[in-house]
Structure 1
Amino acid sequence: MRDAQAYASPEVDANNTSRSFLKLFAVVAVAFLAVVVSGLGITGSYTEIWDGGYPYVACEFTFHDTDGNPVSGVQLEVIRESGVVRHHWPIDDFYIGRVPVSDKNGKLIFHCCGHSYGGTCHTYFHVIKIGDCGAPEYTCNFLHNGKLVASVPFNDLAFAPESQSTRQGRTVRIPTPEQVYGGAAIPAVDDLPEVTREFKIVTRSIIVQNSEGHVTRL
């Protein structure tokens, strides 16, 4: 009997050792996961308050038909992300009472005289972003005889690579924010204050298709 008990004891001890090892492994694993999750919560979630801005940019569009003839009368319309028309910002010479229109040579020119923006961006787990996390989005639509013929995101123009633009000093006349939003009639162009700066010149050439419903998107 004593020999049997002596033989059984090591087997019982081995089982207890195995169970203890598994419990210890489980505790370590849980602790490790807790540290990882806590680390993600701390390092992966943060808030950034940032500032940015549009440069001084002059956009020069040329419109012509499929035969190469210039198309006059193409009008600019600036739309914000919500779909509402946005006057004066970021395009300074697009406001109520003044709409840039292509001339007899098919050329349409409009300007952005450098506007600041910024916001607060919340980032979670390095991936999820909530809030104002980038430049505002505006779309430049071009209409001819009331029909949309071309569309281009303004940010693609404002931040066009240097290889797609040149620089030029020029003077433009634009209304001040007080003149735009003050409620009174905006003075004639010749009576507006002058702005002289070096502008980034961005050019685009657009073919106005005769087929109804065809819109050029850049």
Structure 2
Amino acid sequence: MPYLTGTPRNRTVMPWRFETWVITLLGLGPAALYFWYGAHDRLGADPVNVFERWLGLWAVRFLLVTLCITPVREVSGYSLLRYRRTFGLLAFWYACMHVAVYVALDQQFDMAVLWRDITHRPFLMIGAGAFMLLLPLAVTSNTWSIRRLGRRWRMLHRLVYVVAILAAVHFLMAFKTYTPTSVGYATMLCLLVLWRGRWIIRRRR
């Protein structure tokens, strides 16, 4: 594999690693744009809700991209596997920002109100469950964890399909009305989970 700079001994920066940084910076661009919009009062009459929803939407989008990588390889033979971790972590960071806006700006760190809101609104409980399952996946998205956990790592990361189902339900319920956007994204998430489930069953036969 070609190196970018230096001698063979110290040329450790690979082209694909440079590309992952570019993808990460571009992927965080929408968040920076919404922060700028919020700072300049350009998010409408309910800026917190708009900001919160857009961050959640981008979390779903990057989750979709992450789940699409394997089907794309199977159908076209074109592999983007080396970027899957990057897209998965982008989904996680957007989910973190989505949750942070809800806790800090929407509920203003009022833990009593936060707890009551989550326990009395099913879609929030489902969203919280999806986020909690996403945490260990993000923490173990590194080479050290892959080596340390071995086969258990693969089993752990299959939780992403549970996360996808929960995210689809949360996303659908959050809109309260069935819009083309909410139904479309939820349907795509479910179809990707079904595709992967079919592949796992076929592999075990």
Please give the TM-score of this superposition, normalised by the length of structure 1.
Answer: 0.23
Q: Write 1 or 2 for the structure with the bigger share of helix.
A: 2
Please give the TM-score of this superposition, normalised by the length of structure 2.
Answer: 0.24
Structure 1 or 2, whichever has the larger Rg, is: 1
Q: Write 1 or 2 for the structure with the bigger share of strand.
A: 1
